[in-house]
Structure 1
């Protein structure tokens, strides 16, 4: 019951809107190649090792689908922009959010010093473990991001029925049911990466005690983000 209440409360903050999810694509969706969001990264592929005060999280990227979001994150990471930045908003069974150097949820900017456009695609979804851009509305991406933490048991029959009624592909509905995630954020927040190792750390961060505005009572920090390649 608590999980249902939490999801309903979040829908008041992030309006539920599946309309247009099938066809509304951003500039990063031109590639025709199939993408397996959950496949491990290939040899030579660029990855990020996010070193947090609670452990390491390893992330792969999707530059063919969301090139600007990937470039923005990797450049910020290499420049140390995210070093010692806190996860300022944490909601268990939903997501963990960071990337704001001010730690308030109101700051941060892109590497271009201005917001950049959304890069939506049918190829990537806000499944559990997705790395997505936080925003204030359409085409307002800056530096903030979140990692989807919602487990499979948050995908209730109500959500399944909503996805089906809004013509989500059968395989997408099945995957959400299998792994969890936040389907109402598809076509609202650009997915540009996926955690492939360290979801146990994401779960630990999501479970910390929080206070006002869902901010952890004790800071959880990104110590640094190493950008490297798979050997």
Structure 2
């Protein structure tokens, strides 16, 4: 049990670290949609909701050197979904990589490194936590966040996402890892598929892997540096496929 809790705290700490100063990204200006550089915490929700209605999408393909990961985006997290679609179409994610990997816990992407790191205006997203339907089962797609001490509203990062790996848990283990009361269905999924209930209710889950979970697991098993950055970089590209 301590192993799970330690891993959870490791990713939570990573989500709370402010990204370093960075170089500007190349954003596809020929792609329709809001001007990313003009979005703020207050203007992003309405702009993204309007974008999502005009330019819908439901599935993306995350391409890596270890294989592809197909992800379904949830309809009832429309702001996070529209933001992910917008950044994918504008090529923002194509300059990023998996930057934090915790074995048997989760893999986090959306940043690059040093001079190659994106400087993207860090507007944030309001939480869209759907605790009873969207939770941190194996394969869940969630959004990280930063500066929790100055972020009482738990606003999500606009670029830093993670995919859950986790491990199978007994009902007692899974319930002990969260302050929320798990449903019988959730307890069964955590026992048969695995996941990280310690994150439930804390971060927005807005999609799930439908193909390529073996790729996520492979990324989770890659050798990492002391800061959990993979020894060999794992760049990624995101393509909207449906």
Residue number in structure 1 paired with 2:164:
148
Residue number in structure 1 paired with 2:125:
116
Residue number in structure 1 paired with 2:214:
200
Residue number in structure 1 paired with 2:96:
85
> Within the alignment, does 1:225 sit opposite 2:211 as a pair?
no
Q: Classify 1:163/1:6 alpha carbon distance in 2 versus 1 (closer, same or farther; 3 Å).
A: closer
TM-score (normalised: structure 2) = 0.71
Q: Deviations over 1:43-67 (max 9, x none)?
A: x97311111111100001102x211
Residues paired across the two proteins, number = 192
Secondary structure at the aligned position of 2:93 is classed as: coil
Give the conservation status (yes or no) of the 8 Å contact 1:54–1:205. yes
User: Which structure is richer in relative contact order (CA contacts within 8 A, separation 6 or more)?
Assistant: 1
Give the conservation status (yes or no) of the 8 Å contact 2:7–2:102. no
Give the conservation status (yes or no) of the 8 Å contact 1:87–1:103. no
> Within the alignment, does 1:187 sit opposite 2:201 as a pair?
yes
Unaligned runs of 5+ in 1: 16-26, 28-43
Question: 1:21-170 alignment to 2 at 5 Å?
Answer: 46-63=58-75, 65-102=76-113, 109=120, 113-121=122-130, 122-136=132-146, 137=148, 138-152=154-168, 155-156=169-170, 158-162=172-176, 166-170=180-184
